[in-house]
Amino acid sequence: MSQMQSVEKQLRQMILGLEIGPGEKLTERWIESRFGASRTPVRAALLRLETEGLVGRDGRGWTVSPINLAELEQIAVYREAVEVAALRLSCGLVDRSAVDVIEAMLESCDKDTPREEWHRVGMDFHIELARLSGNDFLFRAVRDAMTRLSRARWLEVRNEAALSRAWAEHRAILAAARVGDADEAARLLSGHIVGSRERLVTSLANDRRGLRARGFAVVPA
């Protein structure tokens, strides 16, 4: 693997894992020494992460993108459009057996599963469902949206009730998709996304003070 890919991957992981806080300043030279690479691959990695929305420019320098509540709301609308479109396509497929693979993914989480795993599977559910459509653009749109939502959702997975509710909704969506009921699946997915957004934004808005105290920049809606 090239240094650029290595730096990109590690830096993304640190940002998504909140090892570098939202809103924190980054310098190319710090990344350079942190990962033992020179500035050329570091700059390349930053340019890519910028297009993912994980880092942004702050004047001349670089900043880890803050958690942006207004952005979270817009992403939810965007997600709804692309995920529903992908799901409708999938419901029209003759072979929808991949639904079972996704269901198995959900079932792999039980009470002993670490939080990180719940978090990852919760995102992968949506990503894999989109991949099933066979449309690369819809798939990438969902994957990128989930990446942007990742940190905000991570701050939320402590909530047991929300998780079990989400899993129930996920199963219901799969059940509708399995029998090819596109309208019902779409309705359930829309509801799930809208509901998730409301709970997420409310929760973060309430926690905002606490998050800022931990050094996490959170810009209001």
Q: Which residues make up the interface to a copy of itself (CB under 8 A)?
A: 40, 43-44, 47-48, 51, 71, 74-75, 77-78, 80-82, 84-85, 89, 135-138, 141, 145
CB 203 within 8 A of CB 195: no
**Encoded tokens for 139:** 């798939």
Q: In whole angstroms, how close is the CB of 29 to DNA at the nearest point?
A: 4
13/38 with CB nearer DNA: 38
Question: How many C-beta neighbours within 10 Å does residue 22 have?
Answer: 24
52/103 with CB nearer DNA: 52
The site partner of 24 among DNA, a copy of itself, none (C-beta below 5 to 8 Å per kind) is: none
CB 21 within 8 A of CB 64: yes
Q: In whole angstroms, how close is the CB of 144 to DNA at the nearest point?
A: 22
The site partner of 38 among a copy of itself, DNA, none (C-beta below 5 to 8 Å per kind) is: DNA
Q: In whole angstroms, how close is the CB of 40 to DNA at the nearest point?
A: 4
The site partner of 27 among a copy of itself, DNA, none (C-beta below 5 to 8 Å per kind) is: DNA
Q: In whole angstroms, how close is the CB of 52 to a copy of itself at the nearest point?
A: 9
The site partner of 41 among a copy of itself, DNA, none (C-beta below 5 to 8 Å per kind) is: DNA
Nearest to 48 by CA among 9, 1, 2, 3: 9
**Interaction site with DNA (CB under 7 A):** 2-4, 26-30, 37-41, 43-44, 59-62
Question: How many C-beta neighbours within 10 Å does residue 148 have?
Answer: 19
The site partner of 202 among DNA, a copy of itself, none (C-beta below 5 to 8 Å per kind) is: none
